[in-house]
Each structure stands twice: as structure tokens, then as C-alpha cells.
């Protein structure tokens, strides 16, 4: 069984991944936030992994299993003013 | 101005049931501190002054330069070189002579923050660096002062209200950051973006003073002026992060970047507040704006590696120093500190 999740990359992350969003198919039994992050960091050269926050379905700080149709946003801090 | 005109000043907003005569009184009794009179602070201050917020503190250590004018809308060409806080006060006082405005031409520090926050009801974050944002966060928790956060990047912006009625704080969202400052100078920014965000900060301030409800607390609004794919993201309060601040007080976040420098001599041409600070054996700091005045401090008898955030300003600095003063020993650090941080990071994670 596989599930489909939609990833959104914000700020500088979109430049580092070369895209603002993408859709991924994941194995449903191993799909969680931590492994998705890991997969993303293996695929792309992300400069500031430690301060990135992840929102699942518009809720920040969600951890654990992902389900079909989830939307996952990768958000870096920015400081311009 | 006659008295009829004076009474007319707030008539359009007083007509709103959320404002009325009582709301207008609340506005005139309110004290708002704006930290940073740049792209965010200018529009925020302009609307608050116009709305009759009774007391405004305008804090900025900096002076106006030409590259500010496309987004820092209170300033004019003949203001260049003069202090932003004082200029903004004069410009706003021309909009509304009935309110009290204090210019504070200074940095926010761990020494002045608590006293300043205690004498204001709420704080608007118009800062452009992480150090100040964490400082505002911690001082707001210490003094129980709500604040309106905003940050911009190219076409994107983030805005939220923190420390409001037991809502989350900035550290609940980003407990800390390893990120370096990426300034507008380096990556560019579209002028209207801070205009939109700063105006929203003014709007949230007015709502908080009037107690209208619907305040952007516990939510982070993400705005993208290029795509219009805006998002509203929920943030949870993290009691542990807030308790930590209450217990230890203000924690200054200093971001450092260590350079495997050996004998290499570095010239850092960034402004003094920019992060990360460099850990290197031999480094001198001369911001771009002071190169002419300080060029004689740069050694000419050994290679000097010129560095900035991304390698752009350092290239300009080299060109300037070579053409004007005949330096032949300058090497640009391509990609700047960002490239070094990225490399360090990858090595750590490898």
C-alpha cells in the first residue's frame, strides 16, 4: 500500500530543492514526518536543517504517521525586515 | 487647523462599531513601541500615528541610505545620512501633531529591553535580524508584553502575534535557529512586501488595543506576493519554552561561523549586527559604508580574503579597493559565509 503526500517548500528551501511543491508516493507503513524529513535531506542539499519546522495539514509541530492526501510544508525561519 | 477639522480626524474609523468614541479613547491611551524603522516599521508607524495611537516609541540605531527608499516609505532623498528614528518622528508628527512620539536612536539590547517594554503596551517587530527577534521574544515574556512579529524574504512574508493572552511565543515556533541572517541587501526584496506586512502589523495592533478579537495569535500567516498561495498555519504554545525564558531571563542568541582559517587574513565587509559572527584567528571588520575611511587599516603585504554573506558585497568591495586605492592582494570568498555554513553543515551531517 502506498500513500500520496503533497510537499510544500517555503523561502530558501524552495530554492535549494529547485521547486515550490511536489507530490510524493510513500510506503504507507513507514510514512511519518521524521522519515519524510530524512528523505528530503538526502535528496536535496538543504543548508539549515536544524531550524526548519514542518507543518502537516497547516498544523505546526505535528509528528508521527502520515496518511494519504496529507500536505506537508517545510518552513525555514526568516528574519528580513 | 480648526476644531471642526480636529474632530473630524478620526470620524471614519469612529463610525465603526468596533471603534466608536470609547475605542478612540483606548487608541489615544495606548503606547506602542516599534523596534526597527525600516520596511516594516515605516508603514506600521504611519498607520498607527494616523489612527491616533497616543504614544509611539520609534527605535532604530541606523541612518537612511539610498537603497532604503524603495521600501522605507517615510524617508525622502534629502534624508540620506540622517538618523531614521528622528526622521520618522518628524514625518509622523506632520501626519498627526496630537500624539506623542519618542525617537530612540539606539539598538535594542538585553540592558534596555525590559525597561522599554515595561513602558509600552505592545511591541511591533520591525527588526531584520534573528538576534533582535529572540531578544524581543524573551523581553516580551519577562515583561508580559504582547508583540507582533513579521519577517520577509524576497516575495514571501511571515506574520504572527506572540505572547498574547497565553498564546504561543516565537520560541514555540522556532526554539532557536542555526540560520544566518540573509539580509534584503543580499537577496533582494520587493518594496511592497514589507508594506503589506507592516500594514498588517498596524492592523493587528489596533485590533489588540480595541479588543476586537480575531487576533493572529496561535497562527502563523504566510504570504507570497508572487504566487498568492497564502497559508495560515496553527502554532501550539510550548510551556517548556516559555518557562525556560521566565526562569533564565533574556538569552542573547549569537550565531557564529567558524572558519578553518590558519594563517588566512579575512576582511569582513558586513555591517556589525550581521550574523553569524566569524570565528577566525585573523579578521578585521570594515562595513562597506566605511571602506574609504578605513582602507588604510587593510594590510597590503599579505593575501586578504574579503568576505560577506554571499560573496556579492565582497566582490564590490574588492573592485572599489582595487580601483581607488590600488590594492592587488585581495581575494574574494566566493559564495561568502552562506557557502561556508552550508559546507560545514554537510560535513557535520555526513
Encode pLDDT of B260-300 as tens digits: 667 789 999 998 777 787 877 788 999 998 899 999 999 99
pTM of the model: 0.84
Residues B141-153: what's their mean pLDDT?
97
Within a 13 Å sphere around the CA of A17, how many CA atoms are in the beta-carbon half? 24
Residues B224-250: what's their mean pLDDT?
95
CB-based contact A6:A36 (threshold 8 Å): no
pLDDT band, very low/low/confident/very high, at A28 (cuts 50, 70, 90): confident
Cis peptide preceding B276, ω within 30 of 0: yes
Q: What is the pLDDT of residue B205?
A: 98
The angle formed by the CA atoms of residues B174, B178 and B180, to the nearest 5 degrees, is 110
Residues B141-148: what's their mean pLDDT?
98
Residue identified by cell 494616523 is: B50
pLDDT band, very low/low/confident/very high, at A29 (cuts 50, 70, 90): confident
> Model confidence over B34-55: pLDDT tens digits?
999 999 999 999 999 999 999 9
- Given a cut of 90, whether residue B228 has pLDDT beyond it is yes
CB-based contact B37:B74 (threshold 8 Å): yes
CB-nearest partner of B236 from A51, A61, A81:
A61
CB-based contact B17:B63 (threshold 8 Å): no
> Model confidence over A9-24: pLDDT tens digits?
999 899 999 999 999 9
Contact A48 B345 (CB under 8 A): yes
Q: Out of B113-117, B215-219, B300-304, which region has the weakest mean confidence (pLDDT)?
A: B300-304
What's the gap in Å between the CA of B22 and the closest CA on chain A? 33
CB-based contact B279:B259 (threshold 8 Å): yes
Q: What is the pLDDT of residue B350?
A: 41
Q: What is the largest CA-CA distance in chain A?
A: 46
Q: A12 to chain B: which residues are within 8 Å by CB? A: 153, 182
CB-based contact A52:A36 (threshold 8 Å): no
All domains of chain A in start order, with CATH: 2-75 (3.10.20.30)
Task: Give the domain B256-348 fold.
Answer: Oxidized Rhodanese; domain 1 (3.40.250)
Q: B346 to chain A: which residues are within 8 Å by CB? A: 45
Rounded Cα–Cα distance for residues A53 and A46 (Å): 13
- Given a cut of 90, whether residue B25 has pLDDT beyond it is yes
- Pull the grid cell for residue B222: 504566510
Residues 13-52 of B with CB under 8 A from A: 36, 38-41
Q: What is the pLDDT of residue A26?
A: 92
Q: What is the pLDDT of residue B199?
A: 98
Name the packing angle between helices B239-248 and B130-143 (round to 10°).
80
Say if the ipTM goes beyond 0.85.
yes
Residue ranges of alpha helices (H) inside B211-326 are 239-248, 291-294, 312-325
- Contact status of B73 with chain A (Cβ, < 8 Å): no
CA distances to A19, A72, B110, B209, B240 from B201, in Å: 30, 27, 24, 12, 27
* Range B3-248: architecture per CATH: 3-Layer(aba) Sandwich (3.40)
Amino acid at each position: 500500500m502506498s500513500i500520496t503526500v503533497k510537499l510544500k517548500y517555503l523561502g530558501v528551501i524552495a530554492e535549494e530543492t529547485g521547486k515550490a511543491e511536489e507530490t510524493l508516493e510513500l510506503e504507507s507503513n513507514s510514512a511519518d514526518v521524521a522519515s519524510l524529513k530524512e528523505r528530503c535531506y538526502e535528496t536535496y542539499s538543504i543548508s539549515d536543517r536544524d531550524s526548519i519546522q514542518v507543518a502537516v495539514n497547516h498544523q505546526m509541530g505535528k509528528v508521527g504517521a502520515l496518511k494519504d492526501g496529507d500536505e506537508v510544508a517545510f518552513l525555514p525561519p526568516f528574519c528580513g525586515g | 487647523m480648526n476644531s471642526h477639522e480636529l474632530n473630524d480626524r478620526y470620524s471614519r474609523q469612529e463610525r465603526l462599531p468596533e471603534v466608536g468614541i470609547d475605542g478612540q479613547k483606548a487608541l489615544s491611551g495606548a503606547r506602542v513601541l516599534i523596534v526597527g524603522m525600516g520596511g516594516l516599521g515605516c508603514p506600521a508607524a504611519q498607520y498607527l500615528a494616523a489612527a491616533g495611537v497616543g504614544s509611539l516609541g520609534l527605535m532604530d540605531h541606523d541612518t537612511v541610505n539610498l537603497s532604503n527608499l524603495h521600501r522605507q516609505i517615510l524617508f525622502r532623498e534629502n534624508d540620506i545620512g540622517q538618523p531614521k528614528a528622528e526622521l520618522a518622528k518628524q514625518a509622523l508628527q506632520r501626519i498627526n501633531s496630537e500624539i506623542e512620539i519618542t525617537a530612540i536612536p539606539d539598538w535594542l539590547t538585553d540592558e534596555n529591553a525590559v525597561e522599554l517594554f515595561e513602558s509600552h503596551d505592545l511591541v511591533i517587530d520591525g527588526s531584520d535580524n534573528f538576534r533582535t527577534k529572540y531578544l524581543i521574544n524573551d523581553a516580551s515574556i519577562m515583561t508580559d508584553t504582547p508583540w507582533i512579529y513579521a519577517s520577509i524574504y524576497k516575495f514571501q512574508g511571515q506574520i504572527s502575534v506572540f505572547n498574547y493572552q497565553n498564546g504561543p511565543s516565537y520560541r514555540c515556533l522556532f526554539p532557536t535557529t542555526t540560520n544566518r541572517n540573509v539580509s534584503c541587501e543580499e537577496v533582494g526584496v520587493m518594496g511592497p512586501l514589507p508594506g503589506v506586512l507592516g500594514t498588517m502589523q498596524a492592523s493587528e495592533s489596533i485590533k489588540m488595543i480595541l479588543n476586537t478579537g480575531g487576533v493572529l495569535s496561535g497562527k502563523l500567516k504566510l504570504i507570497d506576493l508572487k504566487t498568492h498561495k497564502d497559508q495560515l498555519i496553527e502554532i501550539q504554545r510550548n510551556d517548556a519554552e516559555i518557562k525556560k525564558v521566565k526562569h533564565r531571563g533574556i538569552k542573547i542568541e549569537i550565531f557564529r561561523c567558524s572558519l578553518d582559517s590558519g594563517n588566512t587574513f579575512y576582511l569582513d565587509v558586513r555591517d556589525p549586527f550581521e550574523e553569524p559572527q566569524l570565528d577566525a584567528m585573523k579578521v578585521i571588520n570594515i562595513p562597506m559604508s566605511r571602506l574609504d575611511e578605513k582602507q588604510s587599516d587593510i594590510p597590503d603585504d599579505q593575501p586578504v580574503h574579503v568576505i560577506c554573506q554571499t560573496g556579492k558585497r565582497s566582490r564590490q568591495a574588492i573592485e572599489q579597493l582595487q580601483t581607488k586605492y590600488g590594492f592587488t592582494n585581495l581575494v574574494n570568498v566566493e559564495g561568502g559565509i552562506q557557502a561556508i555554513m552550508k559546507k560545514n553543515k554537510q560535513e557535520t551531517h555526513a
